[in-house]
Amino acid sequence: MTIKATPIIKDGCLMVRGKVVLSRVPQNILVSPASNGSAFFGATSPSPSSRHVFSLGVLEKYRFLCLFRVKIWWMIPRVGKSGSEIPMETQMLLLEATEESALNDEVNSSETSTDNTFYILFLPVLDGLFRSSLQGTSENELHFCVESGDANVQTSQALEAVFVNSGENPFELIKNSVKILEQHKGTFCHIENKKIPAHLDWFGWCTWDAFYTQVNPQGIKEGLQSFLEGGCSPKFLIIDDGWQDTVNEFRKEGEPLIEGTQFATRLVDIKENGKFRSSGPDEGCTDLHEFIDTIKEKYGLKFVYMWHALAGYWGGVLPSSDSMKKYNPKLVYPIQSPGNVGNMRDIAMDSLEKYGVGVIDPSKIFDFYNDLHSYLASNGVDGVKVDVQNLIETLGSGCGGRVTLTRQYQEALERSISRNFKENNLICCMSHNSDSIYSSKRSAIARASEDFMPREPTFQTLHIASVAFNSFLLGEIVVPDWDMFHSKHDTADFHGAARALGGCAVYVSDKPGIHDFKILKKLVLPDGSILRARHAGRPTRDCLFEDPVMDAKSLLKIWNLNKLTGVIGVFNCQGAGSWPMKQEAEEIPTVPSGPSSLSGHVSPIDVEFLDDIAGEDWNGDCAIYAFNSGSLSMLPKKGILEVSLTTLKYEIYTISPIKVFGQNLQFSPIGLLDMYNSGGAVEAVNCIIDVSSYTIKVNGRGGGRFGAYSNTKPTFCRVDMKEEEFTYNDKNGLLIVKLECTGNLREIEFIY
């Protein structure tokens, strides 16, 4: 018999594919079918309100992964098995289910799949002027909260608050679901329908950790010079916080800073501050335009981005500033939702509640962005990083609510970017609320986790795990930004390896002269480009419902694809940190003493959609190259390799499908063996067969040791039509030719 996928409510239970997912579903819950077996869930209330909390029913005995906002700015993952473990502000919930084989009693048993696992996805979304989130209770009830953020915007019903869908492949499920929502809601776009900024493919430097707000032209020049001297020059630069003309009204000269008032600092003018303007030739620059022209010419920068907050600055704009009066600003005091303070409070928001925000009239917000961005563009700036975005959700009172105001700001920002920075050069940050996520029509890049935090040793493993899990959702809407890291740091190798797999920008925030070029040259080609993987790096399917940070047993595996190869990074994130809220709730010790060694396995089947790049005639065999050990193995598609790692250690495996040419020539490219993402260097492989020989042609990028698997030793090798020496290991089939260091495309030929 056929089991319908569309969720239904039957006998007080939510049923999906014949499975009871939620029991004791209240009678006020409504279901409306959407497309392709999906549905929306909503509810009605006897009285109108600006905030409702409805029960969906009882959730028990399903392994789940949820993504929730641990504080107003950022999501983190949590796994569990019951509704009581689902925190407030959950913005995605994925359940693992197994179909009952008895339901297939009309199907011949020999034809049924041995793997009956499927997945159920809950996405709380935007419903008109209201925004939804999920939360659990101690009685294992799953609730959804709908709120407008404005006491004057009320409703007694929410008909399309929670989207529910199911599927056999969790990655196809999230992709298809986001595309259904894109079409149905019309308020945002899937990442495939957005213009991708070009800076993603180039190595970058951000000034934040190097200088914090003390950034200045001379320091930037010193930093760029030290990169140049080390032979690894950034091609894009983010001039972070510290360049703007701001004032802290609450700090008197000569008196110590009152903690919290730094967040109430406000923007005075759209033009740069005095550090970037001077009349003397010894001051580093006469104005911003000259400075940017100079560093682009001298250091070969392709892109310069400037930082600003969505409201102008952390505390907005200064209402009394003559330059700001044209935007009709006024002082507003944020109102935080119960969800904002229900998990972890944030000092910045608590301070702004006390000191207020200088908010631009929503009808003037486009004028502000357009003035700011056109000024920056006229001075040679190529794009902006826009921070502190979730602040807007707390300012919706009297403005039509949080969804309305967020969308006004988002649309104005994206329109200004489109007008002033033609390549869609925008990085969003602190934008993890669903108000922003589901209002993103053009924004193509967003930070995927809290900051890198170089001086917080217990945050390093959390950072890697957070980005990977958050990317499960965010990666369908934006290119997740993994944040900067330091090339000279105790965890630099760990972070560098993760970013090589992330499909993201690669940028550091090194202080001038403090670099590890050995690390950087595993990420960056001589021309300043990087080997960026094709998708967002996400946990492998068998990791989705495990806790790689705190369960003391699970390794984190992250998968991605290149043009012709797959890649899996395995990271030991155990024993170096604890999830916020988790430790207190379960009385878990902060950090186990000493590094722990864990074992696991990797398999070609861990790489989703590997068949798509392998081609129709692939028989499932793969060459597996381990980056750190340098070992090469052959495996069938479902074969496994054992891996053991201690805390904060990793291994990267390039998974290259083996192709058979002619009768018995087996070949698969691996790529640049000394780069973290070796297979990212492989652009194309072709074979020319004539009467007496085979010629394998490989198009590859960069320089250094280029490797491939071959079951036969070639007769000779050519690189760009010039014969080159090569080495061949007849025990494992590893074929290596050394390429001159260049970022340009090379044609490598192996003749048999």
Residues 6+ apart with CB under 8 A from 358: 266, 267, 311, 312, 315, 316, 317, 318, 319, 324, 329, 330, 331, 332
Average pLDDT (12-16) is 97
Q: In what order do the strands lie in the sheet with 659-661?
A: 659-661, 665-672, 704-710, 734-739, 726-728
Of 667, 721, 668, 727, the residue nearest 694 (C-alpha): 667
What's the pLDDT score for residue 254? 83
pLDDT for position 285: 73
Whole-angstrom Cα distance, residue 287 to residue 274?
9
Q: Which residues of 441-472 are buried (b: 16+ CB within 10 A; e: fewer)?
A: bbbbbbbbbbbbebeeeebbbbbbbbbbbbbb
pLDDT confidence bin for 247, thresholds 50/70/90: very high
pLDDT in the model for residue 105: 36
Q: How far is CA 11 from the centre of its chain?
A: 41
Average pLDDT of the chain is 94
If you average pLDDT over residues 710-729, what whole number do you get? 97
Please tell me the distance from the alpha carbon of residue 104 to that of residue 574, in angstroms, as a whole number.
Answer: 41
Please give the pLDDT value at position 742: 74
pLDDT digits (tens, 9 = 90+) for 372-393: 999 999 999 999 999 999 999 9
In tens, the pLDDT along 443-452 reads: 999 999 999 9
Phi first, then psi, for residue 7 (nearest 5°) are -65, 140
What pLDDT score was predicted for residue 100?
58
Pairing of strands 130-136, 141-147: antiparallel
pLDDT score at 108: 38
CA distance 374 to 556: 44
Q: What was the pLDDT predicted at 283?
A: 57
pLDDT tens digits, residue range 581-611? 985 555 555 555 556 799 999 999 999 999 9
pLDDT tens-digit map of 290-344: 999 999 999 999 999 999 999 999 999 999 999 999 999 999 999 999 999 999 9
Tell me the C-alpha distance between 579 and 709, whole Å.
41
Tell me the pLDDT band of 286, cut-offs 50, 70 and 90: confident
pLDDT digits (tens, 9 = 90+) for 81-116: 999 999 999 999 999 998 653 333 333 333 334 478
What pLDDT is attached to residue 399? 96
DSSP string, 210-227: HHGGG--HHHHHHHHHHH
pLDDT of residue 692: 86
Indicate whether this model's pTM tops 0.85: yes
Residues in the chain: 752
Mean pLDDT for the stretch of residues 191-218: 98
Angle between helices 288-299 and 217-229 (to 10 degrees): 0
* C-alpha–C-alpha distance, residues 428 and 307, integer Å: 10
Q: What is the pLDDT of residue 554?
A: 98
Positions of E strands within 365-513: 383-387, 426-428, 445-447, 479-481, 506-508
| 282 has pLDDT over 80 | no
Q: What are the backbone angles phi and psi of residue 49, rounded to the nearest 5°?
A: -160, 165
What is the rounded radius of gyration, in angstroms, for the C-alpha atoms of the chain?
Answer: 27
In this prediction, residue 284 has a pLDDT band, given cuts at 50, 70 and 90, of low
140-157 pLDDT, tens digit per residue, is 999 999 999 999 999 999
Domains identified in the chain and CATH numbers: 8-99+116-176 (no CATH), 198-447 (3.20.20.70)
The candidate with the shortest Cα–Cα distance to 547, out of 509, 481, 598, is: 598
> In the Cβ-directed half-sphere of 740, how many Cα atoms lie within 13 Å?
10
Tell whether the model's pLDDT for residue 279 goes beyond 50.
no
- Range 4-33 average pLDDT: 95
Are the C-beta atoms of 570 and 645 separated by less than 8 Å? yes
For every residue of 357-381, DSSP letters joined together read EEEPPGGGHHHHHHHHHHHHHHTT-
Min mean pLDDT across 33-42, 278-287, 430-439, 472-481 is at: 278-287
* Predicted pLDDT of residue 691: 83
Whether 281 shows a pLDDT value over 80: the answer reads: no
pLDDT digits (tens, 9 = 90+) for 630-661: 999 999 999 999 999 999 999 999 999 999 99
Strand partners, 696: 687, 750
Asked whether the beta carbons of 336 and 72 are under 8 A apart, the reply is yes
pLDDT-based confidence at residue 184 (cuts at 50, 70, 90): very high
